[in-house]
Chains A and B, each alone.
Chain A
Amino acid sequence: MGRFLLRRLAQALLVLVLIACTNFLIVNAAPGDMVDVMAGESGAADAAYLAALREKYSLDKPLPVRLGRYLGALATLDLGHSFRHNESVVALILSRFPATLLLMFSALGIALVGGVVLGVAAARRPGSLRDSVISVVALLGYSTPLFWFGLMLTVLMSVKLGLLPSSGMSTIGEDFGTLGNAVDVGKHLLMPAVTLALFYISTYTRLMRASMLEISGMDFARTAKAKGLNERQVAYRHVLRNAILPLVSLFGVQLGAVLGGSVVVEVVFGWPGLGTLAFDALFQRDYNLLMGILFLSSVLVVLVNLGVDLLYSVLDPRIEVGR
Chain B
Amino acid sequence: MIERLGFWPRFARSPTALFGLVILAAIVVLAIVGPFLYAADPWAMATTPFQWPGDDPTHPLGSDNAGRDVLAGLIHGARVSLTIGVVAASAAVFIGVVVGAVAGYFRGVVDDLLMRFTEVFQTIPHFLLVIVLVALLQPSTPIICGAIAIVSWPPVARLVRGQFLTLRQRAFVESCVVIGMSAPRIIFTQILPNCIAPIIVTGSIMVASAILIEAGLSFLGLGDPNSMSWGAMIGFGRQSLRTAWYLAAIPGLAIQLTVLAISFVSEGLNDALNPRLG
Task: Decide yes or no whether A14 CB sits under 8 A from chain B.
Answer: yes
Task: Decide yes or no whether B56 CB sits under 8 A from chain A.
Answer: no
Q: How many residues of B contact A (CB 8 A)?
A: 44
Distance (Å) between the CB of B243 and the closest chain A CB? Answer: 9
Assess the A301–B125 pair: CB atoms within 8 A. Answer: yes
CA separation between A222 and B9, bound complex, in Å? 35
CB-CB under 8 A from B126, the residues of chain A are: 256-257, 260
Task: Decide yes or no whether B260 CB sits under 8 A from chain A.
Answer: yes
Tell me the B residues contacting A by CB distance below 8 Å: 16, 116-117, 119-120, 122-129, 131-133, 135-137, 208, 212, 215-216, 219-222, 231, 234, 238, 241-242, 245, 248-249, 252, 255-257, 259-260, 263-264, 267
CB-CB under 8 A from B255, the residues of chain A are: 143-145, 148
Task: Decide yes or no whether A29 CB sits under 8 A from chain B.
Answer: yes
CB-CB under 8 A from A259, the residues of chain B are: 125, 127-128
Q: How many residues of A contact B (CB 8 A)?
A: 50
Assess the B129–A27 pair: CB atoms within 8 A. Answer: no
Distance (Å) between the CB of A28 and the closest chain B CB? Answer: 10
Assess the B123–A145 pair: CB atoms within 8 A. Answer: no
- Given the interface pairs A15-B123, A143-B259, A152-B248, the reply to whether A278 lies near B128 with Cβ below 8 Å is yes
Distance (Å) between the CB of B223 and the closest chain A CB? Answer: 13
Assess the B208–A26 pair: CB atoms within 8 A. Answer: no
Nearest chain-B residue to A151 (Cβ)? B248
CB-CB under 8 A from B129, the residues of chain A are: 294
- The 8 A CB mask of A138-163 against B (1 = contact, 0 = none) is 01101111111101101100010000
Query: Which 9 residue pairs across A and B have the least CB separation, nearest first?
Result: A260-B127, A148-B252, A30-B136, A143-B259, A256-B125, A143-B260, A259-B125, A155-B245, A260-B125
Interface centre among A29, A30, A143 (most CB of B within 10 A): A143
Partner of B120, one of A18, A139, A293, A297: A18
Assess the B123–A19 pair: CB atoms within 8 A. Answer: yes
Partner of A143, one of B117, B119, B208, B242: B208
CB-CB under 8 A from A301, the residues of chain B are: 123-125
Assess the A147–B216 pair: CB atoms within 8 A. Answer: yes
Interface of B is mostly: helix
CA separation between A287 and B132, bound complex, in Å? 9
Task: Decide yes or no whether A267 CB sits under 8 A from chain B.
Answer: yes
- Given the interface pairs A263-B127, A278-B128, A293-B128, the reply to whether A18 lies near B116 with Cβ below 8 Å is yes
CB-CB under 8 A from A22, the residues of chain B are: 120, 124
- The 8 A CB mask of A12-43 against B (1 = contact, 0 = none) is 00110011001000110111000000000000
Given A14-B116, A155-B245, output 7 extra A-B contacts at Cβ < 8 Å: A15-B120, A18-B120, A144-B252, A145-B216, A260-B128, A287-B136, A301-B125
- Given the interface pairs A143-B256, A145-B255, A294-B125, the reply to whether A26 lies near B220 with Cβ below 8 Å is no
Task: Decide yes or no whether A77 CB sits under 8 A from chain B.
Answer: no
Assess the A290–B135 pair: CB atoms within 8 A. Answer: yes
Assess the B241–A159 pair: CB atoms within 8 A. Answer: yes
CA separation between A267 and B220, bound complex, in Å? 8
CA separation between A124 and B219, bound complex, in Å? 40
Nearest chain-B residue to A142 (Cβ)? B263
Assess the A145–B231 pair: CB atoms within 8 A. Answer: yes
CB-CB under 8 A from A15, the residues of chain B are: 116, 119-120, 123
CB-CB under 8 A from A185, the residues of chain B are: none
Distance (Å) between the CB of A270 and the closest chain B CB? Answer: 12
- The 8 A CB mask of A241-280 against B (1 = contact, 0 = none) is 0000000000000001101110110011000000000110
List 15 A-B pairs, Cβ < 8 Å: A26-B133, A27-B136, A139-B260, A143-B260, A152-B252, A154-B241, A256-B125, A260-B128, A261-B127, A263-B127, A264-B127, A264-B216, A283-B221, A294-B132, A298-B123
